[in-house]
Amino acid sequence: MATATQVQVQPLISIEKLNLFYGSFHALKDVSLTIPEKAITAFIGPSGCGKSTLLRTLNRMNDMIPGTRIEGSIAIGGTELYSNEVDVETLRKKVGMVFQQPNPFPKSIYDNIAYGPRLHGIRGKQQLDELVETSLKSAVLWDEVKDHLKRSAFSLSGGQQQRLCIARALAVNPDILLMDEATSALDPISTLKIEELAQELKDRYTIVMVTHNMHQAARVSNQTVFFLNGEVVEYSDTEKLFSNPTDQRTEDYISGRFG
Amino acid sequence: MNSIFQDANRQQIANRRRKDVIIHLVFIVATSIGVLALCALIIDILMDGLSRLQPDLFTNFPSRKAAGSGMKSAIVGSIYMLIIMLPVSFILGVGAAIYLEEYAGKNRFTRLIQLNISTLAGVPSIVYGILGLTLFVRLLAFERSLLAGAFTMTLLVLPIIIVSAQEAIRAVPKSRRDASFALGATKWQTVSRSVIPSSISGILTGVILAMSRAIGETAPLVMIGAMTYINFLPTSLKDSFTVMPIQIYNWISKPQLEFKELAASGIIVLLALLLIMNFSAILLRNKYQKKY
Amino acid sequence: MQSDTPQANRKVLNTSTSITSPNAFKNNRVSVMNKMMPIILFLCASVSILTTIGIVITLFSETIQFFQKVPILEFIFGTKWSPLITPKSFGVLPLLNGTLMITLIACLVAIPLGLASAIYLSEYAPKKVRSAVKPVLEVLAGVPTIVYGYFALSFITPLIRDIFPGAGVFNALSAGIVVGIMIIPMVCSLSEDAMSSVPRALRDGAYALGATRLEVALKIVVPAAFSGIVASAVLAFSRAIGETMIVTVAAGATPTLTGNPLDSIQTMTAYIVQVSLGDTPHGTVEYGTIFAVGMTLFVITFLLNILAQYVARRFREEY
């Protein structure tokens, strides 16, 4: 049984009785939860539990996997995501995403950031310059790269590349930022930097992160959702979930008995 | 020192090892035959043709007498044909590759196209000549023109371009497409701004190799009739033309020794051009491999 | 550090619609390209299908017309081919004989040498040798066939005539050997691909039991890669059948039912070139022979290619 504790902030995303199938595989089972605005929500659980799948429904990246079927309701700001009204590209512009592996384009740092704005029709050099600068500043990368924006993105370290990817996502000005195990390929110091960055960004963006590392969830998030076998076992304020879980399975997981 | 390595099988093991060494030598000899053949070919041609490798070859038109005969019209014809072929085969070939890799559903029809392409790659070039003769020369009334030749060769090299472009596109990591989609790019934006730029050097390598195949092809062009003394340069797409390999063939089939030398010097020019093209393909490939 | 407000971005990107408004995710762009491109690209891909259809229709329609004038049985079983000189006869067997002779000689050269090179490169060769030999083979594969034709006539033929004084200026042996040299790289690279996809673990297993390199190569790698090797041999065969310029230049133009490789012969491909060089008028029976012979050539190579693909897929080892 999912137990919702009162969240203080206004919910931005609401999911009700969501079921998702990959062919005959039932990947998400009757998922219901709400995600608050301008806060960090963490999805935790063992691998294959459906946390990444749910994250990918929020910007409909699952659409590209053939044989995906969805039932139930998932809405952002009251708009049903899987209705005909929704233009997927517009949705993805407002719901940015950062992936597990840093995946910069084989272009310059500048062109990486400008990729998104250019997609959406921004051509003016001055506007692009401004966007590149603000995005890199938001991702706390500006000071490190401002003198060599023309250099290849691959010249950056892994942690810098991931912050570049965050900056790239911010450049199209999303409201929501999805982070799919964004630190799992990084060393501890780079991980810490990304976590600090997430803390700073949550004042302006709604952040949903999937993590396989529950200590990260405990450190960073405001709300935590625990998944098991495609179901939401429990979700509540992070502090409460980790100190006083209601479900035995949650307790087993966070105390390291499985997973 | 009666260790376990000195058992009764020693003789047998020694025999097996000797056999391994002998056959190893056989393999080396077999492999070097291919290398030696190439050396023999190059030396043979250089010895026959170097003496005739003079400015006349580039500045003169072919003539009935070997002395002063050149291959100007053939060199220009080959280059014109490439210039016409390049954009047409690039667009058709890369377009088909993008369709198959990025758009086509996994269904019977896609499999049919794929099977068809690999089968077409194995069709003898002379059969393309028959197709070109019927379709372009006769049916579309291009006559025995540059255009008919270029189109025939385009069909011939398309399978090569498609297959190599598909490989280049397939090598682009999925994460790079995801990054683009996640920024709100449409399918075509993702393809044109992320997938193609990431695979362009691989695609170009394939295109260059296809062009070098085209520039050395003789049989289909003989079929569509690019085989006369051409002592003018083509000025329009509908003009008749000749190309280097055909000029060489023409010279080879003459009995006189002087024409043989002329043929060999023509071959030197052709091989030099191919070498340049292949070298640029290798440069591109190295650039491409560095990126990933 | 964050002096620039996101509102500045918002203005630049002109996305003032709030995420909570009902129109938040409505499309406000026209994407004509995105809609058109799949269709345009599909048309590009369909050119390959149209090419096949074009080849089949061309060959079929003219061949059928040809068989209205020449009985099909005479074509298939006739032992004399002289369509250009009277008395005309249209038996394709001499041409087929010439083609098969060239192909057999070529395969006798190319398959053992190609396979041995592949085993050497995949199992024995040090890295340095590999990286030196592979480009040579690539160059060998890229040499135009007319150049090989010259090589046959000016180098191999004199060599053969030194050894066998009875050999003609044009003979099947010379052309066959050079066709074989031409397809060595193909056999080698396809077989080597098949062998290098045999997993390391399989080799390690045999080495751990004390096998020599030769035993690993012949008893483990070659059997495991066998389907790929057979496919490469079939493709080589098909390629030799379709080869045109080498045989046109070096094998002669006398369609005979001979078994002697030192004789001048004519292949199907060389015949097609011969006719198209002359001024045979369009629409005549003589002209129709191009298509009948071309059809025969196409059908044989087509079936061989399908066979090669079938072998490669059907007998693929599951690792």
pLDDT at site C318: 56
Q: Does A145 touch chain C (CB under 8 A)?
A: no
Please name each of the domains of chain C with its CATH number: 75-314 (1.10.3720.10)
pLDDT at site A247: 92
Q: How confident is the model at residue A4 (pLDDT cuts 50, 70, 90)?
A: very low
**Which chain A positions have a beta carbon within 8 Å of C3's beta carbon?**
137
Q: How confident is the model at residue B7 (pLDDT cuts 50, 70, 90)?
A: low
Q: How confident is the model at residue A1 (pLDDT cuts 50, 70, 90)?
A: very low
Q: If contacts are CB pairs under 8 Å, which of residues 85-144 in chain B contact chain C?
A: 91-96, 98-100, 103-104, 112-113, 115-120, 122-131, 133-135, 138
Taking residues C291-316, report their average pLDDT. 88
Asked if the structure places residue A79 within a domain, the reply is yes
| Mean pLDDT of chain B, nearest integer | 89
Asked if the structure places residue A233 within a domain, the reply is yes
Asked if the structure places residue A85 within a domain, the reply is yes
Q: Is A223 exposed, middle or buried (0-12, 13-18, 19+ CB in 10 A)?
A: buried
**C300 to chain B: closest CA residue:** B123
> Cβ separation of A103 and B189 shorter than 8 Å?
no
Per-residue pLDDT tens over the stretch B274-285: 999 988 888 877
Best B131, B135, B243, B274 residue to mutate vs chain C (most C CBs within 10 Å): B131
**Which chain C positions have a beta carbon within 8 Å of A139's beta carbon?**
none
DSSP string, A57-92: HHTTGGGGSTTEEEEEEEEETTEETTSTT--HHHHH
Closest CA to B83 of B186, B199, B215: B215
Per-residue pLDDT tens over the stretch C107-163: 999 999 999 999 999 999 999 998 888 888 888 888 999 999 999 999 999 999 999
pLDDT at site C315: 64
CB A96, CB A178: distance < 8 Å: yes
> Cβ separation of B179 and A90 shorter than 8 Å?
no
CB B153, CB B217: distance < 8 Å: yes
Residues 6+ apart with CB under 8 A from B261: B48, B49, B51, B52, B66
> Cβ separation of C133 and B24 shorter than 8 Å?
no
Which subunits have 3 or more CB–CB pairs within 8 Å of chain B? A, C
Asked if the structure places residue A259 within a domain, the reply is no
Q: Which residue has the tokens 């495609």?
A: A230
CA distance A141 to A146: 8
pLDDT at site A110: 96
Report CA torsion sign: B80, B85, B91, B93: negative
Closest CA to A208 of A225, A194, A191: A225
In the numeric block, which tokens belong to residue C167?
A: 């050999």
pLDDT at site B3: 58
pLDDT at site C281: 80
Residues 6+ apart with CB under 8 A from C25: A76, A79, A81, A85, A86, A87, A90, A91, A94
Asked if the structure places residue A220 within a domain, the reply is yes
Per-residue pLDDT tens over the stretch A170-223: 999 999 999 999 999 899 999 999 999 999 999 999 999 999 888 999 999 999
CA distance A167 to A178: 13
Q: If contacts are CB pairs under 8 Å, which of residues 180-239 in chain A contact chain C?
A: 200, 204
CA distance B125 to B131: 10
pLDDT at site C2: 41
E strand or H helix that includes residue A95 = strand A95-98
CB A158, CB A99: distance < 8 Å: no
**C184 to chain B: closest CA residue:** B34
In the numeric block, which tokens belong to residue A165?
A: 């990817």
Q: Which residues pair with A224 in a beta bridge?
A: A42, A236
pLDDT higher than threshold 80 for residue B110:
yes
Per-residue pLDDT tens over the stretch C194-238: 998 888 898 999 999 988 888 999 999 999 899 999 999 999 999
Best C1, C10, C11, C12 residue to mutate vs chain A (most A CBs within 10 Å): C12
> Cβ separation of B182 and A93 shorter than 8 Å?
no
pLDDT higher than threshold 60 for residue C307:
yes
CATH number (domain holding residue A219): 3.40.50.300
> Cβ separation of B291 and A64 shorter than 8 Å?
no
Q: Which residues pair with A226 in a beta bridge?
A: A44, A234
**Which chain B positions have a beta carbon within 8 Å of C59's beta carbon?**
127, 130
Q: Which residues pair with A228 in a beta bridge?
A: A231
**Which chain B positions have a beta carbon within 8 Å of A64's beta carbon?**
181
Q: How confident is the model at residue C15 (pLDDT cuts 50, 70, 90)?
A: low
Best B7, B39, B41 residue to mutate vs chain C (most C CBs within 10 Å): B41
Per-residue pLDDT tens over the stretch A108-135: 999 999 999 999 888 999 999 999 999 9
> Cβ separation of B185 and A119 shorter than 8 Å?
yes
**Which chain B positions have a beta carbon within 8 Å of A59's beta carbon?**
182
CA distance B124 to B127: 6
Per-residue pLDDT tens over the stretch A78-90: 889 998 888 999 9
In the numeric block, which tokens belong to residue A88?
A: 């997927």
**Which chain C positions have a beta carbon within 8 Å of A81's beta carbon?**
25
pLDDT at site A7: 46
For residue B60, report the phi and psi dihedrals to the nearest 5 degrees: -105, 155
pLDDT higher than threshold 70 for residue B195:
yes
Asked if the structure places residue A133 within a domain, the reply is yes
Q: Does A134 touch chain C (CB under 8 A)?
A: yes
Q: How confident is the model at residue B286 (pLDDT cuts 50, 70, 90)?
A: confident
> Cβ separation of A133 and C2 shorter than 8 Å?
no
Total number of domains constituting chain A: 1
pLDDT higher than threshold 70 for residue C3:
no
Query: Nearest-CA distance from A57 to chain B in Å?
Result: 12
> Cβ separation of B173 and A103 shorter than 8 Å?
yes
- List the domain range (segments joined by +) for residue A126: 4-254
Q: Which residues pair with B191 in a beta bridge?
A: none
**Which chain C positions have a beta carbon within 8 Å of B104's beta carbon?**
45
Query: Nearest-CA distance from B169 to chain A in Å?
Result: 14
Q: Is C277 exposed, middle or buried (0-12, 13-18, 19+ CB in 10 A)?
A: middle
pLDDT higher than threshold 80 for residue C14:
no
**A168 to chain B: closest CA residue:** B183
In the numeric block, which tokens belong to residue A211?
A: 């993590």
Residues 6+ apart with CB under 8 A from B268: B45, B46, B49, B50, B53
E strand or H helix that includes residue B70 = none
**Which chain C positions have a beta carbon within 8 Å of B122's beta carbon?**
235, 238-239, 242, 301-302, 304-305, 308
**B195 to chain A: closest CA residue:** A105
